[in-house]
Amino acid sequence: MTAVLRFLSDPWIDAMARAAEGASGPLVDPPLVLQQVVTGHTEGEAAWSITLGAGTIVVTHGRADRPTVTFTQDVETATAVNRGELSAQAAFMTGRLRVGGDVQVLLDRQPDLAVVEDIFALVRADTTYD
């Protein structure tokens, strides 16, 4: 039986890290660090980063020292995006998702970012929201 993971909890981020460990990532040099920051969570700010490197994907807890791009959103937006009820693009266009850092890299690395989304699909399937 698969464990149900509470969205934004430490075990949820750990599950994301485990999913990334066994995955083959894109070849990215220099590494691309995508930082996620979710505000308004009952337990305070939730933050993690996803680093794409030389064929690897690594997920770590907390804020990255030098993120390439930072996505900041409130918990309602993060939940809607993670559930597939709202696209990240729509959230950005309506001001619900803020993007900082080297935004051009998002356009340049679109195929690599699509691979990352696929890797975390199983974690999303086991996620509960409260």
Q: What is the pTM of this model?
A: 0.90
Extents of the domains making up the chain: 5-119
User: For the segment 55-64, what is each residue's pLDDT rounded down to a tens digit?
Assistant: 889 999 999 9
Closest CA to 89 of 68, 118, 110, 120: 110
CB-based contact 52:20 (threshold 8 Å): no
Report how far residue 83's alpha carbon sits from residue 105's, in angstroms, rounded to the nearest whole number: 25
Residues sharing a CB contact under 8 Å with residue 125, sequence separation 6 or more, in sequence order:
none
Query: What is the token pair recorded at 20?
Result: 């990334």
pLDDT surpasses 50 at 94: yes
Interval 59-84 mean pLDDT: 96
Amino acid symbol at 74: D
Please tell me the CATH code under which domain 5-119 is placed: 3.30.1050.10
In this structure, the number of other CB atoms found within 10 A of the CB of residue 26 comes to: 18
